[in-house]
Amino acid sequence: MKRLFLFSAMMLGFLTPLSAQDSDFANKVDEYVVQVMDTWQLPGAAVAISVDNKVVFMKAYGVKELRPADGVGFAGVKYDECKFAQAGVKPVVNNPGDPVNTSSLFQIASVSKSFTATVMAQLVNEGKFKWTDTVKNLLPDFRMFPGDDYVTNNMLVRDALLHSTGLVDEAGTYFGNLGYDRDETYTMLGLLKPGFSFRSAYDYNNITFVVCSKLIEKYTGKTWEENIRERVFKPLGMTSSTMNADGFAAAKDVVTPHDYTYAGDGKVSVLPLYGDEQALNWLTVIGPAGSLCSTVEDLIKYAQFHCNNGYVVNRDAEGNVVDTTFIMPRKAMLPLHRGYTVTSQDSTMMRLYGMCWFIEQNNRYKLYFHTGTSWGVTAICYFVPELKLAGCVLLNCEVGANPRYAIMRRVVDLVRGEKEPLRDYSAEYWKDYTTSRDKAIAEQNAKPKPDVFPEVADRSIFAGTYTKEAPFGDIIITYEKGKLYRIPAKFKGVKEWKKELKHKSGTTYVFRSDGHGFEVTFNMEDGKVTGFDQEFGEGEEKAFGGWTKK
């Protein structure tokens, strides 16, 4: 026993975990976040950290909006175009230089998935259905993969959350950008083709979460949105959190999303997203997979809740523990935190995917986290149960995951009491990022430019109505004052869905819709237009086919 005590004391000499009262901790975190912001040239951020159920750090950085001097944002869209409604709401715009606050609302993108999974776990606990029930038995109209009855009949409820159904390359993610709604996306899910065998691999996907929303709505009689508010936001006291385009756009204290593009030689271009580029229709359609919006003041409560396996600790004004509130029983939470699919591994670490959490296990601790990336915003929410550590990072630009990882990993090292000098994750990631991007840019510039074939002399021949069965719907092509425009027939007369087709090569044109670019290629026989083929974002047109001219 004496030898055991001595060994423990020696170990503490090498590694002294953070006390929540460590006065130096906040300064160290603050200095590192500033360093990350400067290195990666980020516009704005908000960070929150909890240790032992007490928030030990919470701070906002930078500005809500970097407006260029000429007022022109990403893809040439001007800030004053935010005066016009997109997806039924006015896009977000801020005064240049307005500071980000800890109360500022960010989209949290795919962190939303774990909220949907949390509601599903509650319904399983209530006996509404089981994780191992087949979706087909619960939703008779459910379909997966044409001509493949096996997946349709054997896909389990939990499979909808695990990214191993056989869908590849985030197939279906961009349906919302083309104007399709959640119900149409659910139908189109059944028409996609698989890229790998069912449950044989991991490949990230968004639209299987529409299946979850269908289950939630059928077995509660309430919308997915209502369930999130009543079952998660309200009991956790997430009073500022919201969802979908209307919630994001209506917030008073909200950040402007920004594009993030590497320009070469260590420099980046950060431009605000204005108007249609904010992809607000997509935000609502993607719903259960990525439409939640939150603040670090709210999201840290959610991270604590998961770190505690279902309960929150209540404190008084002085920080003393008053009591605990159980939101969910531990047995209902545990399946959410179990790893199902290996996503990566090496000699030092294995990373699994659970029900909407990545679970990274090494020989020191187990880290749970989920990232989120949407149009112009990024996020990460994480927790380490052994350290009673929970945290979140929100950024208002579409930078890659590395800045978020750098802050998260530095926080873990600080809480664990790692000795100086601490590993500089941000510097390492930045070096790797710039080196690989500089190489990619050089290789791209060295490639010969593709041939560009001229347009047909009379572009008016493309005008007309093009038909395709439900749920795809008819598309109208108009020719006005020398320009071609595309509009879904169901949106005829709606200005925001009238998109200009710009020539690329031959009979191929490109258009931007709700923040994403797509190609249209008109088909011709004997000088007459017979129809067109159109991109859906991830090659789905190979399964869907094209439109026929009436």
Task: Report the pLDDT averaged over residues 205-219.
Answer: 98
Closest CA to 186 of 162, 211, 220: 211
Domain assignments of the chain as residue spans, ordered by start = 2-100+242-280+292-365+381-439, 459-549
Helices (H) and strands (E) in the chain, counts: 16, 23
CB of 312 within 8 A of CB of 325? yes
Report residue 151's pLDDT band, with 50, 70 and 90 as the boundaries.
very high
Q: Average pLDDT of the chain?
A: 94
Band of pLDDT at residue 490, cut at 50, 70 and 90: very high
pLDDT at 542: 87
Query: Tens digit of pLDDT for each residue in 413-458?
Result: 999 999 989 999 999 999 999 999 999 999 999 999 999 999 999 9
Overall CATH class of domain 459-549: mainly beta
Backbone angles phi, psi at 160, to 5 degrees: -65, -15
pLDDT at 14 over 80: no
Residue-wise pLDDT tens digits, 75-132: 999 999 998 888 889 999 999 999 999 999 999 999 999 999 999 999 999 999 999 9
Least confident interval from 15-19, 409-413, 444-448, 482-486:
15-19
pLDDT tens-digit map of 301-339: 999 999 999 999 988 888 888 889 999 999 999 999 999
Average pLDDT of the segment spanning 159-180: 96
Q: How far is CA 153 from the centre of its chain?
A: 29
Query: Order of strands across the sheet with 350-353?
Result: 54-62, 44-51, 389-395, 377-384, 366-374, 358-361, 350-353, 341-345
The pLDDT, as a whole number, for residue 18 is 58
Mean pLDDT of 339-351: 91
